[in-house]
Structure 1
Amino acid sequence: MGFYLFKKVPLNLSSLKTKWNTVLFIVQLLLVFLNISTDSLLANITILLAYISIEVVRIVWANQIASFSKKLTYFEEQSMHFNDTFRLVRNERHDFLKHVSTIHFLLEKGEHNKAKSYLDELVGGYEETNLSIKGERGIVAGVLHQIYKKAKASGISVVYDFDIPLSALPLSDRHMVTLLGNLLSNSIDACEAWQQKTNESSLITVQFFKRSGLYIFICKNNTLPIPTNILDNLFHSYGNTTKSGDHEGLGTKMIQEIVQQHQGFLDFIFKNEEFSVKIKIPAMR
């Protein structure tokens, strides 16, 4: 009842499917009948503990399956984005000589203004791709490029200010995708809500640099006011989210777990409708 009333952990009981939920329910029902048929206090306590243990196993097992399914779906999406980025770079390389020939033709005809406009448009597209892929390993470039495109489609400005490539972080591809994907997706969601409320343009700034043996990652974005009860538990427990709809608040806790696994430190500040997350991770592998 405590889990249901206070929701200190997410409940994903449907992940076990009907078969296993039925088996566990039957076992618990048998324990109830056994409890009724005995007058021994010790036996009753033992049965109660067994009943509670089964429920704990059900919740933990279901959450593990739900978490695995969520991660699997997320990585499939990121793999698709990585392939899209790879195809984009390949297409740009394939068409590069054609663009050069077009510009050369326009210059030969003396149409300098058209050549300049064509070149500006071409460079703008290349800069967008280059922001995401320069110096990054493939999986990181895919995430950054996908986030950049998604933000741009929503009218959100994104600034990547990296002293060194993000790929320098001593994280596996799996952890890198989870960390970046959740942080930046949350930033986009917050900016979209802020734009709808204020009718102003929003901004996401991502900084990455190395200082005194630490990799420092900072992400800032506009956001609507966040309730104090959410802020107090953000990044520390599941089920805390400012989003409406079918959101379980898993992302922020997953971010914190990854930072802790790498002996890092996470801090966040909400001030003047701006949310800032700072992550410090030791520069060791």
Structure 2
Amino acid sequence: MIMYWVAAAVLGIIHLQALLTNIPWKVPIYVTCMLVIGTAYFFNKKSIICISVLGGKWNVLLFGLQLLLLLFYFSIKPSWIYLVPLIVFIGIESIRLGCARKLAALNQENQQFKEQTAHFSETFRIVRSERHDFLKHASAIHFMLENGKNNEAKAYLDELVDGYEETNLSIKGERGTVAGILNQMYRQAKAAGITMVYDFDLPLSTLPLADKHMVTLLGNLLANSIEACEDWQTEHKQEALITLQFYKRSGLFLLICKNNSLPIPTPILDALFQTYGKTTKRNGHEGLGTKMIHDIVSEHHGFLDFVYKEQEFTVKIKFPAIQ
């Protein structure tokens, strides 16, 4: 990434300095350097740069095209036509960054979909296993009751119901992909010592979203909540809580996710769900998830709002109830 910024800055300085030779007074090279470096710093802070996803071949090809533009200055005397190679240089760079960003988002979405397919398979396996063992459990309880071991039967039944309830919370009335991700996130939260509560008036599958969009939306929303809760638990040494609510009111589907969270820096909070590269997550994350949530909500003519207050982060999403 350092090499990218160095190469882009050097080319930018050459193009801008050549263009500035057309003005009546001489502009010092250090002024041009400051302008280009300042612009690069601004874009670096504003958005995520992920050109590595394009691969070395395409990056070298694009840089080669940009180097060829320098021949323009050797074949034509200084004039305002020097603006052409500068515009082309900026255009090539915009294409590079735009394609890299879209490809990175597609890669992440594809990876999430593969993971959720695996989760769906695991949920299906769990349901089959529970159904297969049901008669065995019933026989064991019947035996205990026949032999007067009522307390043992009650304890056994309570343990059994807890396990079934965990699965039932996630799968009742849901499509396979939705059931898979809800079940997986419930188990992931439980393994981390986090309380996960699903409060649905109707199945989430009622939402008019394609499976891949449901996977991306729920996956990013709940994964972010779990990670925020893990950090909060580490700091406060208390059990964190995640609540996912879903209901329909006045022609709108409302999806509300609440979770405990450590304080979020204001610059990140202001840009959250709006731009790439803004994330509250640990090192190694690129902030693509929140922007993908925003894009899905916008694509389906929904409305997204969020608020952080008193150690709790709340995301409220509204979708038109279009059947």
Q: Which TM-score tier does this pair reach, normalised by the shorter chain?
A: over 0.9
Residue 82 (structure 1) aligned to one of 120, 125, 138? 120
The one-letter amino acid of 1:35's match is Y
Residue 219 (structure 1) aligned to one of 250, 257, 262? 257
Q: Equivalences for 1:21-32 in 2 at 5 Å?
A: 21-32=59-70
Residue 223 (structure 2) aligned to one of 166, 173, 185? 185
CA RMSD of aligned residues (A): 1.2
8 Å contact from structure 1 (residues 81, 143) kept in 2 = yes
Greater mean alpha carbon deviation, residues 8-17 or residues 77-86 = 8-17
**Cα distance between partner residues in 2 of 1:224 and 1:49:** 44
**Deviation above 3 Å: which 4+ runs of structure 1?**
1-6
Residue 14 (structure 1) aligned to one of 19, 32, 52? 52
Task: Specify the alignment match of 2:278 in structure 1.
Answer: 240
Structure 1 residue 4: deviation in Å?
Answer: 4.8
Deviations 1:203-260 (A, max 9, x none): 0011111000000111100000011111111111111111121111111111111111
5+ long unaligned stretches in structure 2: 1-36
8 Å contact from structure 1 (residues 266, 278) kept in 2 = yes
Residue 109 (structure 1) aligned to one of 147, 151, 156? 147
The one-letter amino acid of 1:185's match is A
Task: Specify the alignment match of 2:9 in structure 1.
Answer: none
Q: Secondary structure at the match of 2:92?
A: helix
Deviations 1:43-96 (A, max 9, x none): 311011111111111111222222211111111001000000000001101110
Task: Specify the alignment match of 1:119 in structure 2.
Answer: 157
Greater mean alpha carbon deviation, residues 56-65 or residues 264-273 = 56-65
**Cα distance between partner residues in 1 of 2:136 and 2:235:** 45
Task: Specify the alignment match of 1:170 in structure 2.
Answer: 208
The one-letter amino acid of 1:254's match is M
The one-letter amino acid of 1:195's match is Q
Task: Specify the alignment match of 2:189 in structure 1.
Answer: 151
**Cα distance between partner residues in 2 of 1:63 and 1:238:** 9
Relative distance call for 1:32 and 1:4 in structure 2 (3 A) is farther
5+ long unaligned stretches in structure 1: none
Task: Specify the alignment match of 2:300 in structure 1.
Answer: 262
Question: Paired residues, what number?
Answer: 285
8 Å contact from structure 1 (residues 3, 9) kept in 2 = no
Matched, 1:275 2:313: yes
Deviations 1:17-57 (A, max 9, x none): 11111111111111123224422423311011111111111
Q: Secondary structure at the match of 1:148?
A: helix
The one-letter amino acid of 1:159's match is V
8 Å contact from structure 1 (residues 214, 280) kept in 2 = yes
Structure 1 residue 5: deviation in Å?
Answer: 4.0
**Cα distance between partner residues in 2 of 1:35 and 1:57:** 23
Deviations 1:261-281 (A, max 9, x none): 111111111100100111111
8 Å contact from structure 1 (residues 178, 255) kept in 2 = yes
**Cα distance between partner residues in 1 of 2:215 and 2:42:** 33
Greater mean alpha carbon deviation, residues 55-64 or residues 183-192 = 55-64
The TM-score with structure 1 as length reference comes to 0.97
Greater mean alpha carbon deviation, residues 68-77 or residues 124-133 = 68-77
Q: Secondary structure at the match of 2:242?
A: strand
The one-letter amino acid of 2:259's match is N
